[in-house]
Amino acid sequence: MRKYLLPLACLFSAATFVWADVETEVVIGELANPTGVAVNAESGDVYIAESAAGRIIRIEDGKAVDVVTGFALDKYGMDPTYDIGPLGLTFLDQNHIVVSGGGKPDGEDFVAIYEFGQKSTADKPVQKLGPLPAEGDIKAEGNFYGVAVVRLDNVDWIVTTANGDDDKGWLAAAEKEKAKFKPLTRYIATKEATKVDAPAAITISPRQEAVVGQMGEIATPGDSLLTFYDVKAKKLLMSLPTGLSDIVGLAYSPKTGRLYAVDFSWHDPSQGGLFRIDAVRVDGKQAAKATKIVSLMKPTALDFAKDGTLYITEFGEGEQGGRVLKIKAGL
């Protein structure tokens, strides 16, 4: 593992400056449990998974425009529970968006690719990946929270976090072959590797590792991990405690290279917010330090635009309290 520490450390900023003047701007409000955000790198269009509304939307002039509708809904969590449908979003290319889902029972949830530019429905994807039903002693999989696309040796991979099998904590993956993706498979058992449950957030590092926020138990404060995986080798490279409670979103700033996370903080939403995660040394060993940038009410996802503008989704308070927030470039 040692050979990975210094290169991985370069992905973090060593700065410890606390941003005191960060302001958020509301882009759109009155949403029902928005859980995913993806910004088109070329057009700058912002896409949102409005989970409890069972739809994917695009924001135009401060209004929601339907892109994909008709996703099924299910319940997630405990004390409280939330209505969820589509969960994660990422772009495959300039014509296709990948949606990871949680609106069906475990064993029926799936990941799907949709062509955007025209309105579609959840049951008409370009390609459906999954579901992953029970297999012998292996539990059925579901609640595909985060999703990312990584290109390795000129081949695209879709990697998604899954919250169905609490014993394994799977990352599921599908490799592209010619014009289509191979079937979605259980790929890396993160709980076996880290001893912590519930992979949720996922992003891709500048070195093309899968960077995963291991959420941990929702009733346990401070147990979230930041983990790095070699996708092709199916190998955990590094796992670091963060002191955060429920990391549900991760993103690298395209301008500074810094890594940011949102913490839902299930046990105490007043502790939730946007955090910068920096590399530090503790007793001569690699460690991660989380610095709070701004407080947020139940944040769920984040993504940077090409110019460095940051977009964040949050549940907020109440059934239609969800919002999309914007922070100007500079982080």
3-state DSSP of 101-160:
ECCCCCCCCCEEEEECCCCEECCCCCEEECCCCCECCECCCCCEEEEEEEEECCEEEEEE
Q: What is the pLDDT of residue 119?
A: 84
Token couple for 306: 């090409």
Q: Is residue 129 within 8 Å of residue 174, measured between CB atoms?
A: yes
Q: Is residue 169 classed as helix, strand or coil in its secondary structure?
A: coil
Q: Which domain holds residue 266?
A: 2-327
B/e letters for 7-18, b = 16+ CB within 10 Å, e = fewer, are: ebeebbbeeeee
Return the closest-CA partner of residue 217 out of 314, 77, 35.
77
195-254 confidence digits (pLDDT tens): 999 999 999 999 999 999 999 999 899 999 999 999 999 999 999 999 999 999 999 999
Q: What is the pLDDT of residue 5?
A: 36
Neighbouring CB atoms inside 10 A of 201's CB total 29
Neighbouring CB atoms inside 10 A of 257's CB total 13
Q: Give how many domains the chain has, as a whole number.
A: 1
pLDDT lower than 70: segments of the chain: 1-20
Pairing mode, strands 86-93 and 96-101: antiparallel
273-278 — which CB contacts under 8 Å span 24+ positions?
A: 273/299, 274/22, 274/299, 274/302, 274/310, 274/312, 274/327, 275/244, 276/13, 276/19, 276/331, 277/12, 277/226, 277/242, 278/12, 278/13, 278/14, 278/15, 278/16
Quote the radius of gyration of the chain (alpha carbons, Å): 18
63: domain CATH number is 2.120.10.30
Q: What is the pLDDT of residue 301?
A: 99
Q: What is the pLDDT of residue 35?
A: 98
129-144 confidence digits (pLDDT tens): 999 999 999 999 999 9
